[in-house]
Amino acid sequence: MSASCGAAVGMLDMQVHADRLRMEAAEEPAQVATGVPTKTTQIIAIYGKGGIGKSFTLANLSYMMAQQGKKVLLIGCDPKSDTTSLLFGGRACPTILETSARKKAAGDQVAIGDVCFKRDGVFAMELGGPEVGRGCGGRGIIHGFELLEKLGFHEWGFDYVLLDFLGDVVCGGFGLPIARDMCQKVIIVGSNDLQSLYVANNVCSAVEYFRKLGGNVGVAGIVINKDDGTGEAQAFADAAGVPVLAAIPAHEDIRRKSASYEIIGRPGGRWSEVFEGLAQNVADAPPLRPSPLSQDALLALFKTEQAGRDVRLEPATTEDMCAATVENRRSLEVIYDAV
């Protein structure tokens, strides 16, 4: 094949890919059912800033719940597909989207055993997501839940279904549980830093917005991870009107064991009391209507030198924006005298 022909084929492939993405973006997502699996199931969506420790918190929380005799399903709804990695000792879990695509290409149906795996009483699965630049992560979440419904999601008999969502992405797919009442309550994982509390405040704002539209989802509380005792997350919880469900200390033993994919939420272990208390609080906490903070109120939780509250906003001028002096020309607007 000549170089010109190869270039033409490459351009054609790029055009086909671009057209496919446009068609995908133009499609309206199918409506996802909003019922609950059983009357006794608590469906809880966990949100938080990327890297704040949601997967760590959920893996240990779900493990502790299972050890307490509860039937728990953990669903990772993050395109990184890392929710279940700690639970399975660092092993990757086949995602629903990847498995669905592979099975569909082979003309086969997806079965529960293809996408759901268990360890010591905890059932877990990953929705997955598209490769970077090749699709919409939020749409992947919607598609994943559509497949779960076909597998019988609303007939499963779990005590708790924990959904791990990325909190600093605000597109529709990631807000699905709140927008469509797919869960009863939301738990936020945060820390004593501005960025994680900014995300926490956004989640509270989303819950409040949909409550005004008639939604029923509430915030059960916040888990403070890597708590260094400075108190900003506690102050945020007090101001937003939500309880602190647990404070997981910033401790080297926890960091080291988490990095080596070791579960610390075991009965009788060094940190068992933290996760036993968290499990009980998660079970008992009612879904509350939060009071989101304004941007200034959020910044006010931090010291002046951290938040920059002593900085004055100085308006820019046209001269500031241009390299040369700008001539102030008279307007050409015609003003007519009143008749």
Of 288, 265, 168, 270, the closest CA to residue 217 belongs to 288
Strand 218-227 versus strand 244-249 pairing type: parallel
Q: Which domains, ranges and CATH numbers included, belong to the chain?
A: 40-305 (3.40.50.300)
Residue 245 pLDDT class (50, 70, 90 cuts): very high
For the stretch 130-166, pLDDT in tens is: 666 666 666 667 778 888 888 888 889 999 999 988 7
For the stretch 50-85, pLDDT in tens is: 889 999 999 999 999 999 999 999 998 877 778 889
- Rounded to whole angstroms, the Cα distance separating 125 from 115 reads 6
For residue 22, the one-letter residue type is R
Is residue 257 a contact partner of residue 271, using CB atoms and an 8 Å limit? Answer: no
For the stretch 82-138, pLDDT in tens is: 888 999 998 888 888 888 888 888 889 889 999 999 999 999 999 886 666 666 666
Burial 112-133 (b: 16+ CB within 10 A, else e): eebbbbebeebbbbbbbbeeee
Known catalytic residues are: 49, 54, 80, 168
Is residue 54 a contact partner of residue 258, using CB atoms and an 8 Å limit? Answer: no
- Rounded to whole angstroms, the Cα distance separating 262 from 89 reads 7
Strand order in the sheet with 72-76: 117-119, 122-126, 72-76, 160-164, 42-48, 185-190, 218-227, 244-249
